[in-house]
Chain A
Amino acid sequence: SYELTQPPSVSVSPGQTAWITCSGHTLPKQYAHWYQQKPGQAPVLVIYKDSERPSGIPERFSGSSSGTTVTLTISGVQAEDEADYFCQSTDSSGNYHVFGTGTKVTVL
């Protein structure tokens, strides 16, 4: 089965930059999307199609893609950004969708 790999955790001080990576062999050909999930809440879309930001999402959230790795960048991290982050993409057939393993972002 297709897998997307993320680091389990990232720690960052307020005001600094957090980078969260997601690796998968179909990412050069398929878009990746990112979700933020806070405890007890449903996920929220923060980046779609590798680098597009939905309306209402702060500009400090950005996305990029390079080969088999996509990256979510949170610039000027704030305490409210502490959450789990999941990438998501589609397999090569386009019929199956998969989420990454998830990264817990801790704001020190």
Chain B
Amino acid sequence: EVQLVESGGGLVQPGGSLRLSCADSGFTFSNYWMHWVRQAPGRGLEWVSRINNDGSGASYADSVKGRFTISRDNAKNTLYLQMNSLRAEDTAVYYCVRDPSGFDFSWFDLWGRGTLVTVSS
């Protein structure tokens, strides 16, 4: 079955760090650009970060630039998001998503179920 499974979410204090992981199955992970998208409780979707298929390029939303780092290990079929200096406004469900475009007009054809990150003291 083709799927993405996120892990690593939880409760963290403001200023703390967390690393999210996303494991894929059922497709050739190294062929795809990958992204993280988040959704605060009761709110809309917010794009967070993108990495190209070989890990040589990445981009970030202004709201997380300098605090979050996206990476991937194609040998382990795993996507990561290292989140530092976390703030209350980072509280959200974080989705790992697959991008089949291979270009900058990305779209997201496969979503994980998400992992909840709560930043609170």
How distant is the Cα of A89 from the Cα of B45 in the complex, in angstroms?
12
Question: Which residue of chain A is the closest to B4 with respect to CB atoms?
Answer: A42
**Are B108 and A33 neighbours in the complex by a CB distance under 8 Å?**
yes
Question: Which residue of chain A is the closest to B108 with respect to CB atoms?
Answer: A45
How distant is the Cα of A101 from the Cα of B45 in the complex, in angstroms?
8
Number of interface residues of A (CB under 8 A): 27
How distant is the Cα of A90 from the Cα of B48 in the complex, in angstroms?
13
**Are B107 and A33 neighbours in the complex by a CB distance under 8 Å?**
yes
> Which listed residue, B35, B46, B95, B104, touches A42 by the CB 8 Å rule?
B95
Q: Convert B86-121 into 0s and 1s, putting 1 for each residue whose CB lies closer than 8 angstroms to a CB of A.
A: 000000000100000001111111011110000000
Residue B72, interface by CB 8 Å: no
Question: Which residue of chain B is the closest to A48 with respect to CB atoms?
Answer: B107
Question: Which residue of chain B is the closest to A99 with respect to CB atoms?
Answer: B45
> Which listed residue, A33, A48, A86, A96, touches B59 by the CB 8 Å rule?
A96
- Chain A residues whose C-beta falls within 8 Å of the C-beta of B95 in the assembled complex: 42-43
Q: Convert A3-23 into 0s and 1s, putting 1 for each residue whose CB lies closer than 8 angstroms to a CB of B.
A: 000000000000000000000
Q: Could you give 11 example pairs across A and B, Cβ below 8 Å?
A: A42-B95, A44-B111, A48-B107, A48-B109, A86-B44, A90-B106, A94-B105, A95-B104, A97-B50, A99-B47, A100-B44
Q: Ordered nearest first, which 3 A-B pairs have the shortest CB separation?
A: A94-B104, A33-B107, A42-B111
